[in-house]
Amino acid sequence: MAFAPELRTHAQKVCTLYKKAMRQIESYYVARFVVRYHQVILRSRFDKNKCEKDPKEQRRLYWVGEHELFDKTHPIPIAKFTHSTGIAGGPAFERVVQPPDWVLDYWHPLEKAQYPQYFRCREARKCEYIRHWQNGTLM
């Protein structure tokens, strides 16, 4: 569940920043031991400032962390999550196949009869498209 930014506590924002930074490290390195090395360094940076009590300094550190994460964002991040259907390389990429339009031409007439208005309009547009193609006005 996503929260509006103003409804999240500082601790929640810092945890989110930490998770994003951890994922960003996985985007840059392939070898697991190198990834783990950089993640341990990142954790030590977060632990170093965890006892900060001054709210102004907390906000400044958070702001610096967000901007550092933005500056170091990988241009082609690794998509490892199942909901990432739109990102090439993700496990669900192109899982939902959109059939091409010509498939509807091979529907049985009884199937087409269930949607008369749609197929009437479709046939009219196909004829219009063919007319434009033959006249050379199609771009």
Model confidence at 7: pLDDT above 90? no
For residue 42, the SS3 value is helix
Place of tokens 């341990």: 40
Q: Which of 8-12, 29-33, 78-82, 111-115 has the highest mean pLDDT?
A: 111-115
SS3 (DSSP) at 48: helix
What pLDDT does residue 137 have?
Answer: 72
**In this prediction, what percent of the chain has a pLDDT beyond 90?**
54
DSSP type of residue 103: G
Quick: pLDDT tens for 104-117: 999 999 999 999 99
Encode pLDDT of 39-86 as tens digits: 999 999 999 998 989 999 999 999 999 999 999 888 877 656 555 555
- Domain segments of the chain: what residues? 7-71, 101-135
* Joined tokens for residue 52: 């900060």
Average pLDDT along the chain = 85
| 23-34: average pLDDT | 87
What pLDDT, on the 0 to 100 scale, is given for residue 31?
A: 86
Six-digit token pair at 38?
């950089």
Q: Specify the pLDDT at position 5.
A: 57
**Residue that has been written with the tokens 């901007």 in this structure:** 67
What pLDDT score was predicted for residue 89? 59
- How many Cα atoms occupy the beta-carbon half-sphere of 61 within 13 Å? 19
Q: Given a cut of 80, is residue 24 above it in pLDDT?
A: yes
Does the structure show a pLDDT above 80 at 128?
Answer: yes
